[in-house]
Amino acid sequence: MSGKRGVNIMGLSTSHLLLVIFAALLLFGAGRLPQVMSDFARGIRAFKKGLSEEDTPPPSALSKDDNTNLKK
């Protein structure tokens, strides 16, 4: 015997995953759940895109000539 019981995804057993899915259905309802998951996936994609983009400083709103007016 290997000692494993069921599927183990991210440290969660099958019964834990079923409980999480059931709780999500109760909270959001069957009709709204696809929309919630779509928004969640869109957020993850935006986060990954933000991580992969190079850090570039935003262009300065003031030019060098305008900085002299701020010293008054």
Which pLDDT value is given to residue 67? 55
Which pLDDT value is given to residue 69? 54
* CA angle (13, 43, 33) in 5-degree steps: 55
Can you tell me the distance from the alpha carbon of 45 to that of 53, in angstroms, rounded to the nearest whole number? 12
Overall pTM surpassing 0.95 (yes/no): no
The residue-averaged pLDDT of 17-34 equals 87
Which pLDDT value is given to residue 1? 40
Which among 21, 50, 51, 48 is positioned nearest to 36, based on CA atoms?
A: 21
Phi, psi of 7 (to 5 degrees): -85, 140
Asked if pLDDT for residue 41 goes beyond 80, the answer is yes
Asked if pLDDT for residue 62 goes beyond 60, the answer is no
The residue-averaged pLDDT of 17-29 equals 88
